[in-house]
Structure 1
Amino acid sequence: MAVGWARDGAVQEQIDASVADAVDRARNNMPKGESHSHCLECEGEIPLARRKAVPGVSLCIECQSELETKQGPVAGYNRRGSKDSQLK
C-alpha cells in the first residue's frame, strides 16, 4: 500500500489505535456491579446464567437486543482525515 511520506508501520499503527479505541469503548459500555433479577424494561425475569455471565446486567436478552438495534452501529474514526483512507 502506498502511503506517501508516512514512515514504515504508520498505517499499521493507525489500525492498531482504531482497534484499541473500539475495545476501550466496548469495555466502558459494559455494565458493572450487581445484576438485576428482573428486566428494567419488560419486568421479565433475567435468567441466572445471564446474571452470572454479565455482571451488572439490567435488561433481558430481548430488551438488550432491541436497545442495541435502536442504537445502530458505531461509526469508525478516520485518523488520516482524507477521503482515500481505508480506515473507517
Structure 2
Amino acid sequence: MADWLDDAQVIEELERKRSIEGLLARPRPSGPSRSHCLTCDDKIPARRQAMGAIVRCVPCQTTFEKGNRR
C-alpha cells in the first residue's frame, strides 16, 4: 500500500517531466550568433556563439530576461 510520500514523489516526477518537456518544446532561435554583445559590446565566447542565434553575453542576457519577467 502506497503512503502519501510515495504519491507526492510520483506527482513531483510527473511535474518535473512536464516542465522539461515544455522547455524543450519551445521554439529555439536559429541563425548566426553575434561576435560581440548587443548590449555591452564585450566579446561573446566561441562556445556560446556555437549555440546559434546568440546576441548577448551571459550577464547581459540574464539582466534582459529578468527585465522581461516583470
Fold conserved (TM > 0.5)? yes
> Equivalent pairs: percent with the same residue?
17
Structure 2 unmatched ranges of 5 or more:
none
Q: Which has the higher helix share?
A: 2
Aligned length: 65
Structure 1 runs, 4 residues or longer, greater than 4 Å off: none
Residue identity matched to 2:31? E
Change (3 A) 1:22 1:28: same
Q: CA RMSD in A?
A: 3.1
Q: In structure 2, how many angstroms separate the alpha carbons of the residues matched to 1:51 and 1:16?
A: 33
TM-score (ref. length: structure 2):
0.56
Structure 1 unmatched ranges of 5 or more:
4-8, 73-88
SS of the residue aligned with 1:57? Answer: coil
Native 8 Å contact 1:32 1:56 kept in 2: yes
TM-score (ref. length: structure 1):
0.49
Residue 11 in 1 paired to residue 8 in 2?
Answer: yes
Residue 39 in 1 paired to residue 37 in 2?
Answer: yes
